[in-house]
């Protein structure tokens, strides 16, 4: 089990967490109930984080985005090497991703799971490009037009000093065992040049119902996205889209039943 931080200390840690001033960023921490789990911080000395018992997130060395749908680091960022530990959680419970001052306002947000195996450390040596992922959550255009409307990505932002919270329920129907969770924000504010911000963490899931994910829901990263997909390559400022009020989130449907 990963090292835990008591709720009161967790709140303080969240208040004091680093707040990147650049227009990029990533997932900083995780919470399950009142327990806080620290993620990797690319701005802090790597030697103080790598190999630590409390680390549950896969390593990412830069707040900069990934630009190519074919980049092998699209799965879990660069270099995406694994942590020592995992987040314990029961199937059906909520895992919350914590961000600080997320600045981009336009594009989809998705959360994914991939099963590593029944053993406690099954995710440690896996090739993330060979894992089969399925989508468990998505958020996109909430209302209005592509440019002037409200996106989940914008509504999720916080500017009062509090963290932006991204809650995702782990489906109760999954198997118990070792899982990898992948949060991804795609920013499409620059036409034809999407920006991908993925981060991954390890989970130890208990109490699952043990159902298998249907093959048609399983995808790989890279592989599931293509620049031929208008949801990826779109220029939202083009005249043809000025009155568009719908957006199809890429990556296929959610499986949760």
Using one digit for the tens of pLDDT, what is the confidence trace for 29-40?
999 999 999 999
pLDDT-derived band at 24 (thresholds 50, 70, 90) equals low
Structure tokens at 29: 């921490």
pLDDT-derived band at 16 (thresholds 50, 70, 90) equals very low
Instruction: Tell me the H-state helices in the chain.
Output: 7-16, 152-155, 230-233
pLDDT-derived band at 5 (thresholds 50, 70, 90) equals very low
pLDDT-derived band at 19 (thresholds 50, 70, 90) equals very low
Distance between CA atoms of 200 and 182, rounded to whole angstroms? 4
Residue pointed to by tokens 């530990």: 85
For 47-70, how does the pLDDT look when each residue is reduced to its tens digit (9 = 90+)?
999 999 999 999 999 999 999 999
Give the residue-averaged pLDDT of 219-244.
Answer: 97
CB 1 within 8 A of CB 85: yes
- Provide the pLDDT for residue 256: 77
pLDDT-derived band at 100 (thresholds 50, 70, 90) equals confident
Give the residue-averaged pLDDT of 216-242.
Answer: 97
Q: Does the pLDDT of residue 18 top 70, yes or no?
A: no
pTM of the complete model: 0.91
User: Do the strands 87-90 and 195-206 form a parallel or antiparallel pair, or are they unpaired?
Assistant: parallel
Structure tokens at 251: 């990556």
The number of residues in the chain equals 257
């Amino acid at each position: 089990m990963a090292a835990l931080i008591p709720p009161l200390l967790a709140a303080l840690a969240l208040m004091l967490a680093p707040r990147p001033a650049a227009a990029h960023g990533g997932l900083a921490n995780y919470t399950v109930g009142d327990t806080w789990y620290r993620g990797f911080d690319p701005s802090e000395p790597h030697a103080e984080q790598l190999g630590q018992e409390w680390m549950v997130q896969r390593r990412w060395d830069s707040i900069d985005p990934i630009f190519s749908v074919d980049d092998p680091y699209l799965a879990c960022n660069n270099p995406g090497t694994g942590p020592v530990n995992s987040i314990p959680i029961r199937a059906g419970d909520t895992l919350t991703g914590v961000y600080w001052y997320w600045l981009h306002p336009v594009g989809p947000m998705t959360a994914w799971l991939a099963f590593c195996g029944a053993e406690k450390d099954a995710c440690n040596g896996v090739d993330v490009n060979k894992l089969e992922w399925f989508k468990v959550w998505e958020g996109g255009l909430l209302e209005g037009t592509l440019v002037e409307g409200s996106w989940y990505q914008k509504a999720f932002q916080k500017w009062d000093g509090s963290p932006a919270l991204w809650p995702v329920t782990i489906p109760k129907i999954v198997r118990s065992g070792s899982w990898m969770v992948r949060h991804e924000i795609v920013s499409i504010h620059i036409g034809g040049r999407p920006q991908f911000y993925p981060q991954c963490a390890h989970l130890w899931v208990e109490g699952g119902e043990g159902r298998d994910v249907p093959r048609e829901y399983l995808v790989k990263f890279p592989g599931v996205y293509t620049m031929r997909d208008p949801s990826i390559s779109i220029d939202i400022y083009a005249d043809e889209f000025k009155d568009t009020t719908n957006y199809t989130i890429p990556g296929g449907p959610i499986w949760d039943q």
